[in-house]
Structure 1
């Protein structure tokens, strides 16, 4: 499970971590969104010399953009990180207290303390050298034939991907497993199998003709050799070439990112017997037995064509190449708990070369990240008990109800939608299961044994514990209340097959939610987040699921055509945004997030006005209620990224950079009225060009 450098997103993607806004120099004032300094919008962050209709992002965030510096250990910074900083501070205090106090080895407190101590003990990790990983490397070296290879590939399989909730397709193992209700098997919880096996972020890094991608490929090959050398592996250069050449072939077998994000193309269901027929090359009996999947009757072949291609490579490629590949990825995916030379080399490539981040995060902060990965619910339970009061849960719950009602009302008013389509859409909104703050039941870590002095063993055991936890769901009724995020996660998520939403406690704080702020601010900030997640149930992917979470077409042909026309218009709008002269935002790739932004912001706006109960909003600091609503929204998307990270986001990610998501406002009529935006302004769209999507 690789823990490299991530960027903060708000989406179906559960991506947590990212850079913080900071400044250098005694006389340089930073416009910030620091918790507690302002109850509503940050006037200091704004550049009111900019005309809102020409560049609304700069109007709302211009001073912040000019004065904020990205810290050395970050690839980007933004408003999201304010909440993350406060969450990290709180988590630090909680974990420090637990570590100091300790606890029984079989208690969550004892597990947290032991895991943390082992992780931060870099002297012990360095002293142990490669000894912790020797048994795994010996397993790979002992592979004598393709049947033994299939067995090891099965042993390495983990539940480390999530195509539906997190749009996370990355695993360094040949295949990744995800367990939930099948796309084409309503009521049946099955294991999905996804493509994997790459060390670079995704296939385009291997196949693109872009010179910058080519340069990264050269650096990656050098990195493989460097890592193997640091790990004491002989013939590192020759092995690096074999590994890289194999990964190029793996990349060619992969589905594209756009295809991966199209759920309707990924609903294939295979029986056990189908694998030998449709994907010959792997000894599937040996694979499934080793992976603990030999009792599963059917599988979601999420990347069906890739499964066939990867299996063929197992048969065709030399055994030594696979053995080298296994050894490299075992080291690479656990570099953080191996000797410093390996950890440093890993960051130099994944942190600096890929994302432009010059400095590694401190070990104690990385330890908190690791705890959130392997013991997330244990830490989250303590966090929620201390930092998320019942009053906040109730207030946000009321906002959710209001925004759901606003969305349903908008659907009811659509004049082009057939009654049967409208009925199912409203039913879907009304039956969404909403989790606020934290789950009602907590994860049991009783089977997870943690060492106080072997950080590598702790990660391996944590991965296996998670895998067993996920496999245990197969064949059982789907739990619609299951959480996929921890309370200390600064994000939110839509769960399409559960028809459910999670709003973790950590995002329900400034700058997204402040109980002392006025409704315009809260609806523009957290209200838009809530609306966004509700709207994911009706984006280009979510709209393919009905109210039960089943993947089926519940649209009339005419309704679907109208919906697709709106989506195409929004994709074209985002295609015009160019952060670099040679690279534009991919409107089709980012369409799901963009639809959710448009529809969610409109629903939040409607709910805000409904909350006023017919009264006029007060003017505060010279801004009307509607102005504060839209400024609050734009300020949640304050974003500053290093060029390398921005290029990576635009080229491969399903989320447009924040500065462009802030421009969603140009599709709402109310924004034009609030800021007197007129024809001739740079962001002006004629009324018939404003994308409505849902109402």
Structure 2
């Protein structure tokens, strides 16, 4: 498991109000926009706004999200093989289609050289698509691992198997990874993270609400069926033991709010002292199996979990642990096994937990497999075909404009002292933007891919990834390394490298439109850039300096003021109701909400600066400011199944898309001016209660 600090517009991006006075301002779209194709094309080339999505029965002052996206929301059905749809998800589908074309073209090429990147892409895809071969093999691809588990004679060997299982991509209650040391960004360190649960979060094991009780019952039934399909003995009894053991592990887990606290999760231990923390864990065997036994220290992210896990390890018989590890192996590789196991895996994790009606076509999942295992191989071709050099140049300009605007915003902060401003601007100046694709590509020469060995391909790829990580220990920091492929529709901020990263695939409409006016691009990709910069100054990112080291660069008074403003944002988002019985978790989503608020605030400032004092032209009946805010509103267009939404609210540090739009804009005075938002309007917040951080 490789823990990557991914922020902002993330893979789990998800994603009301009453009308008031009718004399308030309303954005006007030309009446002809709805019917004439030529005009629609012209609009796409000028404003970059899709007027067909608007719901003009909603006042923008009451629910700007519904105003900009409401008709689309009403008329759009979520495809059966997905749990969500919208701006991000549609782009992901396009990226997958683009990658599919690359893969199929490679696969159709005769006489590929053995060991070449092309052979690996073609044969990996074939190994996933050959369901006849997978059905013939049954559980044979994992039988060797099941035999190893069955042969374990004691708990010391069990702990060593935990390490082995992770190295091949299987399940484990202890997640080992190598990443930059948060307090010494010049070196890589080893880390241990809590792991081992099949359900989304610890609360799923303890919540007595009917929904959670039903999920646990379905989980037990699912395990029993999986054991039966695999021909494993004692299926019903095994399922009950597995739930009981995972419940015990979950009881020691930190919750999702605690685990995002960079301060709490940094606990540097000497390896020699690990037995004091957990005396019954075979640390020597564990680290030796991982190839990390020469390290003097290790960062334990959740020490109390390790202490508690030690108790769970001792309290349960070896036979129960062997059953659990059999399950972990079976469930982690289920999608790469026979169609009956793959289907049952879908029925629980996708259909029951997330409401997905239909399984994705095999080819879509095959493309995902290639992206996961050989992502930068196809990424090279992807950027040649789908990313223009002028797009990278324009993005570089936007990033620098946002950086300049951020600097001016810091200078103008009334609540921050001069000393802290100096440190903040130093960090800002050291942001390292990465745009489109890596300057140096990953090498897959050591990876063996076979057309008839899907599970083996996955295991070998996982082992190679682990081997590459081990090579980092004692070596210089890999400044060139990316944690997303170019074909990923996402972006991230990495605090220990102080870098903001924008893969090629997100640099498309509605986020980034080379044919559109600047206003909508600043409202779209500009807000995304600002969001990622904002992660450098959110409640966790602000703990890191410009060199990527976690240290206190704040004055005591400034830190108190910063925390108070964060608390106000927590309270605001806690008040947003997702369902009648479920609100947004303001503490869990605080970092992303700061990113959203600072992102759109700084993007607006950068847009105004880009005009050089001139008035923006009116395009398609809209002022520049109106186009900016609409550009921001339309990037959050999304629909999601209720089951998936409930899971995301419980586990995802991002607020639902609707509240990402409404929450940020409700704090911006410029939005109030642009749309004449007044007291009594549903989006109105009293000036003294509006949150301004950056």
Range into which the TM-score falls when normalised by the shorter chain: over 0.9
The equivalences for 1:92-103 within 5 A come to 92-101=100-109, 103=112
Matched, 1:110 2:97: no
SS of residue matched to 1:41: coil
The 1-side partners of 2:515 and 2:157 are apart by: 62
Paired position in structure 2 for 1:74: 82
SS of 1:503's equivalent? strand
Q: Distance in 1 between matches of 2:292 and 2:528?
A: 38
Q: 1:50 aligns with which of 58, 61, 70?
A: 58
1:139 alignment counterpart = 148
Using the alignment, how far apart are the partners of 1:204 and 1:407 within structure 2?
39
Alpha-carbon distance, 1:186 to partner? 3.8
CA deviation profile, 1:230-283 (whole Å, cap 9, x unmatched): 111011011111111100000001111100011111110112112111112111
Cα distance in 1 between the residues matched to 2:13 and 2:595? 22
Give the distance between the partners of 1:17 and 1:96, measured in 2 at CA.
Answer: 29
Tell me if structure 2 keeps the 8 A contact 1:594–1:661: yes
1:480–1:499 CA contact under 8 A, matched in 2? no
CA distance in 2, matches of 1:615, 1:197: 58
Pairwise CA distance, 1:431: 0.5
Relative to 1, partners in 2 of residues 1:536 and 1:201: Cα closer, same or farther, differing over 3 Å?
same
1:222 maps onto 2:221 in alignment = yes
Q: Superposition pairs for residues 300-449 of structure 1, below 5 Å?
A: 300-449=299-448
1:652 is displaced (CA, Å) by 2.3
Contact 2:201 2:650 in 1 (8 A): no
- Assess if the C-alpha contact under 8 Å between 1:115 and 1:450 holds in 2: yes
Alignment correspondent of 1:685:
685
Quote the offset at 1:35 in angstroms.
11
Which residue number corresponds to residue 472 of structure 2? 473
Contact 1:35–1:86 (CA<8 Å) still a contact in 2? no
Aligned partners of 1:154, 1:467: CA distance in 2, in Å?
A: 11
Equivalent residue, structure 2, for 1:62: 70
Q: CA 1:35–1:496 in structure 2 vs 1: closer, same or farther (change >3 Å)?
A: farther
| Structure 2 alignment gaps of length 5 or more | 16-34
User: Is 2:84 the partner of 1:88?
Assistant: no
Distance 1:52 1:245 in 2: 50
1:666 aligned partner: 666
Pick aligned residue for 2:133 from 124, 135, 139:
124
SS at match of 2:472: coil
Compared with structure 1, are the counterparts of its residues 158 and 618 closer, same or farther at alpha carbon in structure 2 (3 Å cutoff)?
farther
CA shift at 1:14, angstroms? 4.7
Shift of 1:12: 4.4
Q: Distance in 1 between matches of 2:621 and 2:141?
A: 62
Q: Tell me the distance in 1 between the aligned counterparts of 2:176 and 2:647.
A: 25
Cα 1:172–1:657 shift into 2, 3 Å: farther
Distance in structure 2 (CA, Å) of the matches to 1:335 and 1:15: 22
Please state how far the C-alpha of 1:302 moved relative to its aligned partner. Answer: 1.1
Deviation track 1:380-419 (CA, whole Å, cap 9, x = no partner) reads: 1111122112111000011001001111110111122122
Structure-2 separation of matches of 1:515 and 1:450 = 39
CA–CA separation in structure 1 for the residues paired with 2:13 and 2:144? 32
Q: CA deviation at 1:692?
A: 0.5
Contact preservation (8 Å) 2:522, 2:603: yes
1:11 offset after TM fit, Å? 3.4
| Helix, strand or coil at the partner of 2:497 | coil
Distance 1:12 1:324, change over 3 A: farther
Whether 2:65 is the aligned partner of 1:38: answer no
Distance 2:394 2:573 in 1: 34
Once residues 10 and 443 of structure 1 are traced to their aligned partners in structure 2, the CA distance between those partners, rounded to angstroms, is 19
> CA distance change for structure 1 residues 631 and 376 in 2, over 3 Å: closer, same or farther?
same
8 Å Cα contact 2:436/2:502 also seen in 1: yes
After superposition, where does 1:182-201 map in structure 2 within 5 Å?
182-201=181-200
- In structure 1, the residue corresponding to 2:666 is in which secondary structure? helix
Distance 1:207 1:158, change over 3 A: farther
Structure-1 separation of matches of 2:191 and 2:437: 26
Shift of 1:351: 0.6
CA deviation string 1:597-632 (max 9, x = no partner): 000111100111111122111111211111111111
Q: Which residue in the other structure is 2:31 paired with?
A: none
Q: How far apart, in 2, do the equivalents of 1:388 and 1:282 lie?
A: 50
Q: What corresponds to 2:18 in structure 1?
A: none
2:596 and 2:434 map into 1 onto residues whose CA distance is 20
Whole-angstrom distance in 2 between the partners of 1:69 and 1:42 = 18
1:524 aligns with 523
Q: How many Å separate the matches in 2 of 1:447 and 1:306? A: 36
Give the direction of change, closer, same or farther, for the CA distance of 1:159–1:546 in structure 2 (3 Å limit): farther
Query: 2:143 & 2:190 partners in 1: Cα distance?
Result: 31
Q: Distance in 1 between matches of 2:332 and 2:617?
A: 54
Matches within 5 A, 1:244-255: 244-255=243-254
Are the equivalent residues in 2 in contact too, given 1:83–1:511 (CA < 8 A)?
no
Tell me which residue corresponds to 1:156.
165
Do 2:280 and 2:314's aligned partners in 1 also have CA atoms closer than 8 Å?
A: yes
1:11 alignment counterpart: 7
**In the TM superposition, what is the alpha-carbon distance from 1:18 to its structure 2 partner?**
8.9
TM-score, structure 1 normalization: 0.93
Correspondence for 2:28 = none
Describe the SS at the equivalent of 1:176: strand
1:481 CA drift (Å) = 3.6
Structure 1 residue runs of 5 or longer lacking an equivalent are: 3-8, 20-28, 161-170
RMSD: 2.0
1 CA distance for matches of 2:10 and 2:468?
19
1:479: Cα distance to partner? 2.6
Inter-CA distance 543–159: structure 2 relative to 1 (3 Å threshold):
farther
Q: CA deviation at 1:546?
A: 0.8
- Give 3-state SS (helix, strand or coil) of 2:108's partner: helix
State the Cα distance separating 1:16 from its structure 2 match: 6.6
CA distance in 2, matches of 1:15, 1:521: 23
2:281 counterpart of 1:275:
no
358-367 or 286-295, which deviates more: 286-295
Return the TM-score normalized by structure 2: 0.93
Aligned counterparts of 1:37 and 1:307: Cα–Cα separation in 2: 58
**Distance (Å, rounded) in 2 between the aligned partners of 1:261 and 1:615:** 43
C-alpha contact (below 8 Å) 1:535/1:596 kept by paired residues: yes
User: Which residue does the alignment assign to 2:498?
Assistant: 499
Q: How many residues align?
A: 666
Paired residues of 1:191 and 1:300 also in contact (CA < 8 A)? yes
- Cα displacement string for residues 522-550 of structure 1 (whole angstroms, at most 9, x for unaligned residues): 00011100000000000000001111111
For residues 612 and 681 of structure 2, what CA distance do their matches in structure 1 show? Answer: 33
| Relative contact order higher in (CA < 8 Å, ≥ 6 apart) | 2
Residues 416 and 159 (structure 1 numbering): CA distance in 2 closer, same or farther, change over 3 Å?
farther
- Given that 1:159 and 1:466 are in contact with CA atoms closer than 8 Å, whether structure 2 keeps it comes out as no
